[in-house]
Amino acid sequence: MLLHLKSSSSREMEKQEERGRKLLLVPCPFQGHINPMLQLASVLHSKGFSITIAHTQFDPPNPSAHPAFDFISIPDTFLEQQTSPENMIDLVLLLNAKCQEPFKKFLAQMINRQDPSHPQFACIIYDEVMYFSPAIANHFKLPSIMFRTSSATTFLVRAVIPKLHLQGCLPLPDSILQDPVPEHYPLRFKDLPVVKFGSEEQILRLMANLFNTERSSAIIFNTMDCLEQSSLAMIQHQKQLPIFRIGPMHKLAPNSTSSLLEEDTSCIAWLDKQAQNSVIYISLGSIASMDSKEVEEMAWGLANSKQPFLWVIRSSQKIASEWIESFTKDFKNSVGERGCIVRWAPQKKVLAHDAVGGFWTHCGWNSTLESICEGVPMICRPCYGDQNVTARYVSQVWKVGWQYENELKRGVIEKIVQRLMVEEEGKEMRKRARDLKHMVEASIDKDGPSRNSLNEFVEFITSS
């Protein structure tokens, strides 16, 4: 009898242990969100966890790129629209509404199975944007952990927006745009992540949902103290939750690939032929775009700068794409082999290439981290939301780039590209970028703060 009791309790312990190693991750189906979530999944898998990814039918990740993970598709979550800044809020609200019930049913099935070969999950790690998750996790008494894929500073300053609404200051009046935001130096009101699209009611509803961490047990940030120490300290002070800063995620999981578009690797052979630090790389990430006038100014600014350039113009950037296809003979003659245009680049490889000496970026958080990690200085051209905050930090706090603020004009583009790529000021900027790269690298050293935070996180989920 004693023997029997002992073996059933040890079986129970094994089950418990197995459960403690099984994680359910809920990514948001946008490129800039899927990448860090799948990187986090790889990092946790390397720590011995088994990973299940619950994804939408809209822009799903590619399971064959991650044979070690289980993938489950949340039913009825296919959306027909393409992602654009204009419909972002609609999409996020719709996704959350669509996911809620099917996700709940799925979890109920898993839990009702009571099958030891399908142990329950230790916790759910959800992208902050998939805010339907914590209530459902809570319903099944599972802990949920928020993963914030963008900067800690944007997370912090978003709190200013509902206050501005209460004061009747939204939309922001022109008279205050250049003023500093109290307690958030060096941000100006114009840098706040105010989304211009969607109704005020929708924006505030979204903000309220994103802020709500009441049901979460912890927050993970893809960042580092060396970049955002004071913002992280303020968040820690405001939120009574464990905060883990585990970044840069793409360096902790260097082999993770989760591109939704096919990468055109031919640009690497083209880069191989260029001189060291001579190429300016231009990309606006997966959603932002330029209008036809801006593309034309950009094209001629680059041509006149006489610098080699690698430019990503996605096929979903319809206007830009059409303009490029109808490039004039003059432009083609002027650029010759000096320019390379692709639909989608292997960006991390591009930024790590010796030939790349500058990055014209929209300052998406992943692009910014990827640039910092390779010591590539930036020209910041933010388009919306958190990109404005990041651009301000790149130019004013870390001082590894300049922000281009006014209307795009070919003459100004030509000058700013030359300033970064060939002039003395650009060389100094590149030196600062190298120094920052070394600081960031130190975070993921064996005893670096990001590694330590990762180990603390592993301890946190296995012991809670």
Contacts of 278 by beta carbon, 8 Å cutoff, 6+ apart: 307, 308, 355, 357, 421
CB 364 within 8 A of CB 193: no
Angle (CA) 154-347-375 rounded to 5° is: 70
Q: Given the complex with ligand UDP, which of 59 and 414 has the nearer CB atom?
A: 59
CB 443 within 8 A of CB 226: yes
For residue 390, the minimal CB distance to ligand UDP (Å) is 9
For residue 37, the minimal CB distance to ligand UDP (Å) is 11
Closest CA to 49 of 124, 116, 114: 124
CB 384 within 8 A of CB 195: yes
Q: Given the complex with ligand UDP, which of 364 and 375 has the nearer CB atom?
A: 364
For residue 364, the minimal CB distance to ligand UDP (Å) is 2
Q: Given the complex with ligand UDP, which of 296 and 370 has the nearer CB atom?
A: 370
Separation between Cα atoms, residue 366 and residue 363, nearest integer Å: 8
Q: Given the complex with ligand UDP, which of 164 and 261 has the nearer CB atom?
A: 261
For residue 78, the minimal CB distance to ligand UDP (Å) is 21
Give the side-chain half-sphere CA count within 13 A for 412: 11
For residue 356, the minimal CB distance to ligand UDP (Å) is 13
Q: Given the complex with ligand UDP, which of 156 and 287 has the nearer CB atom?
A: 287
For residue 183, the minimal CB distance to ligand UDP (Å) is 26
| H-helix or E-strand spanning residue 372 | helix 365-373
Q: How far is CA 262 from CA 62, 233, 290, 314, 370, in A?
A: 12, 39, 21, 11, 19
For residue 90, the minimal CB distance to ligand UDP (Å) is 17
For residue 30, the minimal CB distance to ligand UDP (Å) is 6
Q: How far is CA 419 from CA 70, 401, 416, 448, in A?
A: 49, 11, 5, 35
Closest CA to 127 of 210, 19, 21, 234: 210
Q: Given the complex with ligand UDP, which of 217 and 245 has the nearer CB atom?
A: 245
| H-helix or E-strand spanning residue 23 | strand 22-26
Q: Given the complex with ligand UDP, which of 107 and 152 has the nearer CB atom?
A: 152
Q: Given the complex with ligand UDP, which of 369 and 461 has the nearer CB atom?
A: 369
> What is the DSSP secondary-structure string of 190-226?
GGS----SS-HHHHHHHHHHHH--TT-SEEEES--HH
Contacting residues toward ligand UDP, per CB under 6 A: 30-32, 35, 259, 283, 285-288, 312, 344-345, 347-348, 364-367, 370
